[in-house]
Amino acid sequence: MWDELQFSLSLIVSGLSIGLMYSLIALGFVLVYKATDAINFAQGEFVMLAGFVAAVALGDKVPVLAAVAIAVAVMVVFSFALERVVLRPLLGRPIVAVIMATIGLGAILRGLPAITVGGQTRALSLPIGDTPFVFGPIFLPPIQVLGVVVTLAFLGIFSWFFLKSRMGIAMRAVADNQQVAMAMGINVERYFALAWAMAGIVSALGGVIWGSMLGVDTQLALVGLKVFPVVILGGLDSIVGAVVGGLIVGVVESLAAGYLDPYVGGGTKDFAPYVLMIVALMFKPYGLFGTHRIERV
């Protein structure tokens, strides 16, 4: 009985740590959707691109902190350029135009490594060692602990930015009502660009952490698909929902892998979050914390 409880507790804690790492990437979806009403279907490719930038920099003997800073800088510049050159001209067009633009961008980014730096798997080694952290009966790899610390730190900075800073309050106003924000003199286009830049920062941090854990190749982009159940479950426009959804999905994945995989031969953690998402949508179409929108005609 005690061994069973220890096993379950270990799965839950591991799932919570992975879930927080999902939440970090999910924040990119939420930021862009709240500010622009667009879903970035290339979020996974953003993570992959950041991972490649950091891995290539480390391969050229750049110090770790400098490599992370380069990845963040590249993703911020890339996101600014994307919003300005590709997405801003689509303002006012049907939302499907933006969706198709991000899907096309994702396809381009997946093919980019093969014709530039090579598509082979690259190691993204961080100086954190391999010795697991021991918390009673729980063992966590150092990369998961780092992921939790980075996510919690970013969430703290993120919360301060939106609650206390002038730019954060203006961005909240844009997210609540773009027309009213424009009437108040807020430069809405500037905050659209800022939302994409912040999504780029999130992608850079996620790319470094997930790239260190999984290795960097084009398959890293699939992390973006794993995050879809997180944002749908929590609510596309809810920051709290992104965190709660990530924790739930992480735990469900971990429990499915621990209890169901031995009976079916593996793979249940890959589809269990999508089953959870479909069931949740049957009862909560807007997600757990999403805004209910009622359009009258």
Token pair 């300005």 in the structure block, residue: 84
Per-residue pLDDT tens over the stretch 79-120: 989 888 888 787 767 778 888 888 899 999 998 888 888 878
Position 288 scores a pLDDT of 82
Higher pLDDT, 206 or 290: 206
pLDDT greater than 90 at residue 75: yes
Is domain 2-119+142-283 given the CATH code 1.10.540 in the classification? no
Using a pLDDT cut of 70, give the percent of the chain over it. 96
Mean pLDDT of all residues in 38-66 = 90
Residue 216's beta-bridge partner residues? 122
- For residue 292, the model assigns a pLDDT of 67
Percent of the chain with pLDDT over 90: 19
Q: pLDDT at position 207, please?
A: 92
Task: Write the secondary structure of 8-67 as one string of H (helix), E (strand) and C (coil).
Answer: HHHHHHHHHHHHHHHHHHHHHHHHHHHHHCCCCCCHHHHHHHHHHHHHHHHHCCCCHHHH
Kindly indicate the confidence band of residue 257, based on its pLDDT and cuts at 50, 70 and 90.
confident
Over the range 255-273, which residues count as b (16 or more CB within 10 Å of their CB) and which as e? bbbbeeeeeeeeebbeebb
What share of residues in the chain are helix, strand, coil (percent, to 5)? 75, 5, 20
Structure tokens at 91: 């303002």
Is pLDDT above 70 for 226?
Answer: yes
